[in-house]
Structures are given as structure tokens and as C-alpha cells.
Amino acid sequence: GYPLACMFEVYVLGHIMWYSAGVGLLTIIALPAFIAVAMLRHDLYDVDKALAAAVTYTLATGVLVALFLATAVAGGAALGGNSAVAAAIATAITASALAPVRRVAQRRVDQRLFPVRAAALTAIRSLEQRTRSGEARPEQLESELRAALRDPGLRVAYHLPGGAGFVDSAGTPVDPERAVPITMDGIGVGALIPASDGVSDGLLREIAHAAGTLVEIVRLRVELRAAVRELEQSRARLVQVGDEERRRLERDLHDGAQQRLVSLGMSLRVAQRHLSGGTVDLDALIDQSVAELSTAVAELRQIAHGLRPSRLDDGLPTALLALSRNLPLPVELDVTPATLPDPVATTIYFVASEALANAIKHASATQIGVRVSECPEGVEVQVRDNGSGGAVLRYGSGLSGLRDRVSALGGSFTVDSAAGSGTTVMAVLPCAS
């Protein structure tokens, strides 16, 4: 029985040792392979930078050692064997050459080991220099990176403030799918959007960091062009509204007051012809003429009040109070400044009137508040309601016309109207307008 037990023990232990050795060998082979895949394919470690740094410093060290030896030998020969002075001279020359040699070595290593990275960073530096000298425009960044990264579909997107999303250099909205953010001082200014998977995320992040200054310049230019475009559109709308208002006044004057005044003149001519003959009832004719004149004056006043509400004759607080009394809902009024320049008071009145009308007609509001108060920029009018929200600044709407009227006085106009959360219409106007 003992020999059998020994044989069994040897058999079992042998298989265990063989299995352990196999597992150990497999681990030794697989672990480096897994690490290599993680480093090279998934950018687990910055192996590119580590490898480039190692090769760069090895090359630079070799060049500097050769330079030191050559300088020391040449100096020693020239100084007649004075090794201490020759070594000091060689050390000084080598130290002064350290930075230039390292830069040249770094450039050569990058070009040899990582040509795509070197081409992209070189393109960015070159474009920055040409932009400063006026030889190029920063908007060329996208085409430069496309050529350097060999990605014809690559996009450079620019982030506009106010939640407007990303746009390209022409101001057209861009919907990024795989975007690498570009930041300046921790603030997002844009994004790189590659069209292919040929460039690693690590390289894209490095390029995004290097291109931050150019992207910020283009972003500011895009924002400025958008502001200028909005200003031009606003001015065009103001001109159009002014033309329409002049045509309306011309039509109202022609069809109303002008016709009555012409009729009055004809009546007076009739009175003049028959004054001496006594064939016309002058009292009735004069009464009719006075009535026509009164009607014409009333129509002229009505037209004039269309340009400036007559309620403002007694001041803005009184005008807003009279406006609110004609509404089917109670309005909470809080009007601090009593005296304002006439254009400012008129604009505030129109803002309040339009916002109140919208709250009642379209938003089904049950609570409305109007506040006019002083602020550092001048005077602020704010109209809030608890209606359905969803108001939009659409071209041709009453709110769009208010924005143009406020902008014409150098003010700002905003509408906050999330669906289901009510609407807040706010305008800020400089009092010096």
C-alpha cells in the first residue's frame, strides 16, 4: 500500500506543479501583451511622451557629450595641456548649447517617431505666427489640421455664450458627435470633432490644448459677426417699421382729417359766396363747419396719440395704473421712478402693454406683476406672469418689435419663458437716452 500511495502523491504533485508552471508561463507572456495593448490602443499611459522623452534625452546627451569632449580636446591642445581651463571652457559651451540641442533633438524625434503629431503642432505654431504678422487668418485652423491629421472631415467648432451651442467659423450650427473640448482658463471655447478614428484621443487632447489661443480668437470673431448681423437685421426691421408707420399716418391723414379739412374749406367758400345775398343759413353752415373742424382736431389727436400714448401726459405711474385697470385680472404694480425721459417712459409703457396683453390673451395667466425700478444701467421694467410660458422672440411678432424699440435706445431686452413656468419679460434702458 505504501508504494501505491507514494506513486499517487508523485502523480498528483507533478500535475499540480505542471499546471502551476503553465499558468505562470501564460501570465508572464500575457501580462506584457495586455499592458502593451492598453498603452498603445487605449492610451492607458502616456507611453508616446515617455518614449519621445527617453529618445530625445538620449540623443541630446550623446550630442552634448561629444561636444564637451571635442571642445575639451581642442581647448587643451590650444592651451598647451591646461586641462582645468579647457574643461571649464568646454563646460560653459556645453551648458549654453543644452537648450538649443534639446529643442532640435525633440523636433527631430517627433518628426521621426510621431510624424502626425509633429505636423499638427507645427501647423498650429506656424498659423499663430502668420496670424500675428497678418499673413493668414485664424479661421484657416480647420484646413491646416485636416491636412496635418489626414482627416478631411475634421471640424473645429466654436462655443457661443448663452447656451447657443457650437457653430463653425461661418456661424452655422454644428452638432458634435465625438467632440474633444477646447478650453481657455478652464472655460470651454470650442471643440475638435474628428471624422475618423485614426487619431487617438490623447493626441486630440494635446492638439486641442495647443490650438486654444487660435480657437478663442476665431470664437470672438464669430461672436462679433453674429452681433453685427443681429444689429443690421434690427436696423432693417426698424427702417421697415418706420416706413410702415409713415404709410399708415399718410393713409389716416388722407382718409380722415385731410378730407374733413377739405370739406370745411369748401363749406367756408360756400358761406363766402352767399354771405351778401343771404340765401344760405349762415348759423347752420358755421355750426356744421365748427363740427367738422372739431372732428378733424380729434382725429389728429388720435393719430398723434398713436405715436405717444396720451396717458403718459400725467406720468408713467399714472399711465400704468390706468392700463392695469382696464384688464380683467388684478395687476400688482411697483413703479419706483416717477420722472423719466419721454422716450424711455414711452418704451416702458409699450413693453408693459404688450407683455400684459400677451399674458392675458395667450398665456392664460392668473397672476401678473409689473415692476419698474432703478438699476446701475438705468431703469429696468419687468413683467411677470404665472401662465403657460413658451413665448418665443419670433421675427414680426410684438415681442420682436419691442426688442427693436428697446435696442434703438441702447437698452437690452430678454424673454424668459420656459414651458409651464410662466413668462418674464425684462427690458433695461439707459436713462440718458
Closest CA to 368 of 315, 317, 329, 310: 329
The per-residue pLDDT for range 316-364, each reduced to its tens digit, is: 999 899 888 877 788 899 998 878 888 888 889 889 988 888 888 877 8
Which residue, 98, 113, 128, sits at the end of a domain? 113
Q: 339 in the Ramachandran plot: left (φ > 0), alpha (ψ -120 to 50) or beta?
A: beta
Is residue 165 in a domain? no
Query: Quick one: 288 and 319 in the same domain?
Result: no
Is residue 163 in a domain? no
Q: Give me the residues paired with residue 73 across strands.
A: none
pLDDT value at residue 390: 82
Least confident of 2-11, 45-54, 75-84, 201-210: 2-11
pLDDT value at residue 130: 92
pLDDT value at residue 253: 67
Is residue 333 in a domain? yes
pTM of the model: 0.48
Query: Quick one: 82 and 108 in the same domain?
Result: yes
Is residue 225 in a domain? no
Contact between 319 and 389 (Cβ < 8 Å): no
Query: Quick one: 339 and 294 in the same domain?
Result: no
pLDDT value at residue 188: 85
Query: Quick one: 245 and 324 in the same domain?
Result: no
Query: Quick one: 322 and 302 in the same domain?
Result: no
Residues above pLDDT 70, as percent of the chain: 72
Query: Quick one: 354 and 371 in the same domain?
Result: yes
pLDDT value at residue 369: 94
Residue 338 C-alpha cell reads as 416717477
Is residue 275 in a domain? yes
Virtual CA dihedral for 322, 397, 236, 348, nearest 10 degrees?
20
Query: Quick one: 332 and 382 in the same domain?
Result: yes
Which residue, 307, 325, 356, sits at the end of a domain? 307
Which residue, 113, 131, 163, sits at the end of a domain? 113
Query: Quick one: 261 and 329 in the same domain?
Result: no
Q: What H or E segment, with its residue span, contains residue 173?
A: strand 173-174
User: 3-state class of 180 per DSSP?
Assistant: strand
Query: Quick one: 274 and 343 in the same domain?
Result: no
Is residue 30 in a domain? yes
pLDDT value at residue 322: 86
Q: Given the C-alpha cell 465625438, which residue does it identify?
A: 178
Domain with 17, as residue range(s), is 2-113
The answer to whether residue 15 scores a pLDDT higher than 50 is no
What whole-number distance in Å separates Cα of residue 184 and Cα of residue 326? 54
Query: Quick one: 268 and 370 in the same domain?
Result: no
Is residue 210 in a domain? no
DSSP characters over 18-81: HHHHHHHHHHHHHHHHHHHHHHHHH--S-HHHHHHHHHHHHHHHHHHHHHHHHHHHHHHHHTTS
DSSP characters over 358-424: HHHHTS--S-EEEEEEEETTEEEEEEEE-S-------TTSHHHHHHHHHHHTT-EEEEE--TTS-EE
The per-residue pLDDT for range 105-138, each reduced to its tens digit, is: 777 766 666 778 888 888 999 999 999 998 999 9
Query: Quick one: 334 and 259 in the same domain?
Result: no
Domain count, the chain: 3
Is residue 206 in a domain? no
pLDDT tier at 165, thresholds 50, 70, 90:
confident
More confident residue, 111 or 29: 111
Contact between 222 and 171 (Cβ < 8 Å): yes
Residue 70 C-alpha cell reads as 571635442
User: Phi and psi at residue 373, in whole multiples of 5°?
Assistant: -145, 160
The per-residue pLDDT for range 268-296, each reduced to its tens digit, is: 777 767 765 566 676 777 777 777 777 77
